[in-house]
């Protein structure tokens, strides 16, 4: 079998089962035909969430591998490649959740927003896949944004990347609260109305949760 990888994706078991995967001892398997039944594709996801595929010729029982050979040409192999890649893209989209943000605090922020407000991250820009926003359901206004940026862009003397959270704040409070360490002026936002927090442990989660709640309320005005 051939191992494949989905970048920035986290397996969702419920979605996997709804798609049609069968569970056997925490190994999940899906079968489907390719090229009008001439080939059979098996997709297996094991207990370590590693993904494997195998294509078998239904008439001979032999494994088919030409769809994996970059130099292979011809209408038949082209159709196999197209159907094979389309199915993997569908499985990636329908059975896995996007997981761009990997820091502990970023994950806690995402979970808190979902558990408190039922809102999910929206990835609006194809050119900037590391950027996401969160909007209120009632008026569609943003109240949070998660981004991955270089610390240097935030004014620090480092090229290390960091995950950040942008939130709304009352202008008068921004003037008092921005300290250049725990709370920064809003990155890529109107600095009169937004702040930035580095999700690197410089601020406690309780403090962050309180600021998220205030931002949510401000977005409703």
| 105-125: pLDDT as tens digits | 999 999 999 999 999 899 888
| The pLDDT of residue 10 | 84
Residue 82's alpha-carbon distances to 40, 42, 87, 90, 187, in angstroms, are 14, 16, 9, 12, 41
Mean residue pLDDT of the chain comes to 93
End-to-end CA distance of the chain: 55
Q: What is the mean pLDDT of residues 45-67?
A: 94
> In this predicted model, what pLDDT tens digit does every residue of 16-40 receive, in sequence order?
999 999 999 889 999 999 999 999 9
| The pLDDT of residue 85 | 95
Q: What is the mean pLDDT of residues 70-84?
A: 94
Q: What is the mean pLDDT of residues 80-94?
A: 95
pLDDT at residue 60 greater than cutoff 90: yes
Please list, in sequence order, all residues whose beta carbon lies within 8 angstroms of the beta carbon of residue 109, skipping any fewer than 6 positions away: 144, 146, 165, 199, 208, 212
Kindly report which listed range (54-63, 75-84, 93-102, 163-172) carries the lowest average pLDDT score.
93-102
Confidence of residue 9 (pLDDT cuts 50, 70, 90): confident
| The pLDDT of residue 130 | 81
| The pLDDT of residue 165 | 97
Phi first, then psi: give them for residue 41, nearest 5 degrees. -105, 130
Phi first, then psi: give them for residue 102, nearest 5 degrees. -120, -10
Confidence of residue 99 (pLDDT cuts 50, 70, 90): confident
The closest alpha carbon to 28, from 56, 47, 9, 2, belongs to 47
Q: Per this entry, what is the length of the chain?
A: 221
| The pLDDT of residue 111 | 93
pLDDT at residue 126 greater than cutoff 80: no
In whole angstroms, what separates CA 202 from the centre of its chain?
24
Q: Which residues does residue 194 pair with via DSSP β-bridges, in sequence order?
A: 168
3-class SS letters over 42-97: EEEECCCCCEEEEEEECCCCCECCHHHCCCCCCHHHHHHHHHHHHHHHHHHHHHEE
Please check whether residue 77 is in contact with residue 174, taking contact to mean a CB–CB distance below 8 angstroms. no
- The alpha carbon dihedral of 137, 143, 148, 149 has a sign of positive
Confidence of residue 97 (pLDDT cuts 50, 70, 90): confident
């Amino acid at each position: 079998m051939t191992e494949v990888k989905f970048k920035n994706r986290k397996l969702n078991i419920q979605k996997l089962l709804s798609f049609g995967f069968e569970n056997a001892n925490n190994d999940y398997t899906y079968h489907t035909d390719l090229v009008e039944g001439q080939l059979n594709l098996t997709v297996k996801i094991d207990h370590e969430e590693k993904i494997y595929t195998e294509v078998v010729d239904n008439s001979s029982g032999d494994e088919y591998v030409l769809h994996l050979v970059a130099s292979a040409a011809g209408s038949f192999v082209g159709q196999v490649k197209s159907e094979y890649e389309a199915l993997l893209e569908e499985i990636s989209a329908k059975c896995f959740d996007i997981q761009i943000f990997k820091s502990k605090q970023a994950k806690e922020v995402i979970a808190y927003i979902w558990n408190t407000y039922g809102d999910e991250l929206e990835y609006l820009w194809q050119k900037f896949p590391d950027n996401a926003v969160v909007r209120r359901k009632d008026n569609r206004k943003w109240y949070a944004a998660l981004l991955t940026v270089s610390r240097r862009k935030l004014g620090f003397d480092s090229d290390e990347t960091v995950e950040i959270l942008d939130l709304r704040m009352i202008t008068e409070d921004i003037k008092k609260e921005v300290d250049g360490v725990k709370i920064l002026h809003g990155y890529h936002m109107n600095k009169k109305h937004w702040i930035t927090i580095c999700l690197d442990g410089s601020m406690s989660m309780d403090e962050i949760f309180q600021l998220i709640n205030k931002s949510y309320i401000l977005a409703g005005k």
